[in-house]
Amino acid sequence: MPKEINKANFDPEVLKSPEPVLLDFWAPWCGPCRRMAPILDEIEKDLTGKLKVGKCNVDENPELANQFKVMSIPSLMVFKGGQVVEKIVGLTPKPELLQVLKKHVSL
């Protein structure tokens, strides 16, 4: 289960993470976000120890959504070394997501 990311734990969990972080900006009322959840669960399980997966509820954390210019959800961002290195917007199939992650994580 991806870790819930909020303003309080964003710095240590995302920016200072030793491994890359896939952060899902989502909301409970968003249908595509709900369909994305099982894909993220699988990716987290498949890449344990290589990639951290987190979820940030945009309704509860509007300041983080604004900071990263989230305009539509789901928005997935890959953070590496405290920087956003990839941004994927919309429901994304697992194979396509793995292709993007392969650039940043040794699969």
**Catalytic site residues?**
30, 33
- Whether residue 55 contacts residue 26, with contact meaning beta carbons closer than 8 Å, is answered with yes
CA distance 14 to 30: 23
- Match 């309080």 to its residue by tokens: 8
CA distance 66 to 58: 9
- Whether residue 36 contacts residue 91, with contact meaning beta carbons closer than 8 Å, is answered with yes
